[in-house]
Chains A and B, each alone.
Chain A
Amino acid sequence: MTARTRFCGGLLRISRALRTVALSLVTGCVFSVHASFGAVHGDNDTSHSSGHGTHTKTHNTTYPATRAFPVLTVNYDHVRKPFEISLWILLASLMKLGFHYIPRVSSVVPESCVLIVVGLLVGGLIRLLGETLPVLDTQLFFLCLLPPIILDAGYFLPTRPFTENLGTILVFAVVGTVWNSFFIGVVLYGVCQIEREQLAAVDLLACLLFGSIASAVDPVAVLAVFEEIHINELLHILVFGESLLNDAVTVVLYHLFEEFASEGQVTVVDACLGMVCFFVVAFGGILVGTVFGLVAAVTSRFTAHSRVIEPLFVFLYSYMAYLSAEVFHLSGIMALIACGVVMRPYVEANISHKSYTTVKNVLKMWSSVSETLIFIFLGVSTVAGPHSWNWAFVIITIFLCLISRVMGVVGLTFIINKFRMVKLTGKDQFIVAYGGLRGAIAFSLAFLLPSDHFPMKNMFLTAIITLIFFTVFVQGMTIRPLVDLLAVKKKKQTKFTINEEIHSQFINHMLSGIENVCGHYGHHHWRDKLSRFNKYYVKKWLIAGERSQEPQLISFYNKLELKQALLVAESGSAANIGPGLSSAALLSAQSQKQRTVMKNISKEREEEIRKILRANLQKTRQRLHSYNRHTLVLEEEDEWSTVQLRRQRVELEKRMTHYLTVSASGWDSPPVRRARFQSDSQEYMAKPSAPVSIPAINMELVSAPPGSLALLEEVTDQAQQSQDEGCGMHANSHEEKSMKPNVTFALELEKQKLSRCLSDPGPNKIEVEAEEKEHFLS
């Protein structure tokens, strides 16, 4: 019974998905058909569409004089381009939706394969309708589709494993790719020479060029497949890092061979220049990216007043970095990654919490759509592209790619293992070799080849497409069962516990110390140096306001983190501490309760304490739980904001009591008090609304003293009101309970107000304090 209903339900879902797909396809095709007919009509339509208001003479004469007023007109050309683009994106997104409704398929076949198949189907459909197929325009690909994916990857790059394995990754990327290109190129040339009949025209340089195109591991394809198999961090970062970094090599080799192939002459000088070019391309790209990243960080320092456009800066600067690098034929991918990596810590300290969420979500969404579109277009282009099939060439290419990859990986690992602490095992090597997937970048590069210099371009294209299909389908589909079969270590599922965090930091410090004793300038030493440099020099310039002077704000922040953690724990354990307890007693009572409620460790509390540690333990390491596009890290936005509100409420109460008690008892020493707060206000005067990652909630500060006085009155008024309303707040002390404000303030805003009120030098000084005293004590 249930099986039957399940079957029907599944069938229903599939049919629904297919229906929507078919509908969109048909609409798209209908419109494109109409568009083609419209194009055929030529002059009339274009002049009609180019301006509704302007009627030229010729236009007038072609239309009959007696023509009823058109109530409903169809004018497709007008919106054709955007319409088609939107339709494609819609199709891609619907595919993504539909993919997950077919359970059997999604567990066996990686998404990229399904998307290529869909692309093939769509391409076939369009061809059946006799339409011109949209080809994966290289311009479109490199300028629109690729950057979001790379930015997403670079921004969320787990820097720690990346830097730890940087040497290995670089060796694989640079040496491995060069080896691949030359091996494939040379052997292919040999084969072509042997196979005299059809392939004799293919000369060495063309073969080398083909080799360089075919050897590049593609980040898009790797991401798409590896994200789903959840292998351990090390392997993931090795393959992925290699795919990112080999872009520089690919760019250089491609341009190099292209130049040589057109000129036909290679000298030793040229070869040396080629090597120099490589360094220029790689480091130039990184430099451009770093510069843009720093500018973005500086810009984000000043965005306090326009929080809404903060994400835009992140995207724009990154994109500009990419484009600027492309202008000089530097490696755009490396520029983009450098920009993201450099920008991230500072921008995140500066922008608001909401903007950060926006950035993250938009990046993931964009890159997801891009990836889908790329694969679909690959399928469509396969149907479209002029093909010239040559059995020998294609089969040899695939064979050679596999062989050279395996040889490259094994050989390089042998050398690398001498320098690594954790050696790469045979299993690791296999996965690295097997995970070298080719993708759309190779296709686009092949497509870019000028046909006049390369008469065999179609053959190359066909071979590349076949190679891509082979790697994505065969390797992509089989890698998951192979990973299970070989029992490769999977990604560790659990989050770090507090213990792990503390002890890991402890061990890091210990290792730094031991390294210093040995006089060994190792990994820890440089990391220490970098973080110290960062702390003392860079952060001052790049992080706005108080965040750069960490001590005060951090301590304040963390005090509240803790209070909030306590509150959450309190509400979680559903026991109300009576109002008479002081905060210290509360803490001890809380800790006692903690011991009894041992196993109920709420997620939020863990997050709190982890945040304290992360912010304060002297090495700040950014540890990301996942940057898997398919499963976003759950941020618990809503709980966070309510928890923040509660925290701020507590904070406000605390400050109220503090000033209450101080003003009541310390009345005889106002100058001291004023002096202390004077120093506080000095900082805050300069930057009125300093950003903190708490969502800043809205009371704008009026700068004049009477204004602040008014605000203070307002605060106390509302406090009185809420007392009447009687909201249920866990309070720490009697006075606090008597004023439970219903409004929430931004942290620093509140601090400023009170400090300014109390410390403001001016004629109303005495009145301020008198007023305040009056209010509070009444």
Chain B
Amino acid sequence: MGSRASSLLREEDIEEIKKETGFSHSQITRLYSRFHSLDKGENGALSREDFQRIPELAINPLGDRIINAFFPEGEDQVNFRGFMRTLAHFRPVEDNEKNKDPSSGEPLNSRNNKLLFAFRLYDLDRDDKISRDELLQVLRMMVGVNISDEQLGSIADRTIQEADTNGDMSISFSEFIKVLEKVDVEQKMSIRFLH
């Protein structure tokens, strides 16, 4: 099964993905076999149902949002390139990468891009602001059904109040970055993809 899966992936593709995302060859093949195992319809792309079939993801409070993050705007299918592009955000930051040429643009797994990914999970309507409602939604999902709305609202208000520096009652991306400056995002938002 594994060899059959990897044979569907061409060398040029692997090279391109490697350049774009920074994954190693073995990591890409391993993730491709995972992609393949998720892809029940065998059409080379994943749909939302494929993701929802993953058991733990259903229990995850942010499950739906995470699934949505894989799909580009308005599409219902994600191919392997898109899959890898999303996963590239979670590659650990390596020190030697800082020396690579800056002209290729910021790598997908930089601190900024990691935070941007997280920000996009909050900000569903893509207006580059986390409004109070969006925050409330997320809080509600994480906390469960036990807490009253007014309580949650108060927490949300407090959160925005803490972060908001320009007084627009919502958290912009720069405010988001600032609030998390003490958090070790590089480590928290990294997954060790085994070689």
A interface, CB within 8 angstroms of B: 419, 421-423, 492, 494, 497-500, 502-520, 522, 525, 528, 532, 550-551, 554-555, 558-559, 562, 565-566, 583-584, 587, 590-591, 594-595, 598, 601, 605, 609, 612-613, 616-618
Contact = CB atoms under 8 A, between A and B. Distances in A.
B77 to A, nearest CB: 16
Contacts of B39: none
A532 B56 CA distance: 11
Given A422-B186, A500-B183, 5 more contacts: A422-B184, A497-B179, A511-B189, A517-B38, A551-B146
A515 B54 CA distance: 11
Interface string B28-62: 00010010011000000000000100111101111
Interface string B140-153: 00111111101101
B148 A509 contact: no
Interface string B145-186: 111101101110111011100000000000010011011111
12 contacts: A421-B187, A498-B162, A500-B179, A500-B182, A503-B176, A505-B142, A512-B60, A514-B66, A514-B90, A562-B151, A616-B144, A618-B142
A500 B138 contact: no
What is the predominant secondary structure among interface residues of chain B facing chain A? helix
Contacts of B155: 498, 502, 609, 612-613
Contacts of B158: 498, 594, 605, 609
Contacts of B12: none
B118 A498 contact: no
B56 A421 contact: no
B82 interface: no
A121 B149 CA distance: 66
A555 B146 contact: yes
A493 to B, nearest CB: 10
Q: Select the residue from A500, A510, A584, A587 with max chain B CB neighbours within 10 A.
A: A510
Contacts of B116: none
B66 to A, nearest CB: 4
Nearest to A551: B146
Contact of A507 (B148, B153, B182, B188): B188
Contact of A598 (B90, B121, B161): B161
A516 B56 contact: yes
Contacts of A504: 183, 188
Contact of B189 (A507, A598, A616): A507
Contacts of B189: 507, 510-511
Interface string B110-149: 0000000010011000000000000000110011111110
A502 B158 CA distance: 11
B10 interface: no
Given A518-B87, A598-B161, A502 B150 contact: no
Interface string B19-33: 000000000000100
Given A517-B51, A520-B193, A618-B61, A509 B142 contact: yes
Contact of B56 (A503, A528, A587, A613): A528
B60 A513 contact: yes
B100 interface: no
Given A513-B60, A513-B62, A517-B57, A584 B150 contact: yes
Interface in B81-121: 87, 90, 92, 95, 118, 121
B168 to A, nearest CB: 12
Contacts of A617: 142-143
B4 interface: no
B146 A554 contact: yes
Contact of A618 (B38, B144, B193): B144
A503 B154 contact: no
A516 B180 contact: no
Contacts of A565: 154
A381 B21 CA distance: 62
B62 A506 contact: yes
B173 to A, nearest CB: 13
Contacts of A421: 92, 187, 190, 192
A518 B151 CA distance: 36
A509 B60 contact: yes
B151 A612 contact: yes
A518 B191 contact: yes
Contacts of A558: 146-147, 151
Contacts of A520: 191-194
A421 B34 CA distance: 22
A550 B147 CA distance: 11
A525 B57 CA distance: 11
A588 to B, nearest CB: 9
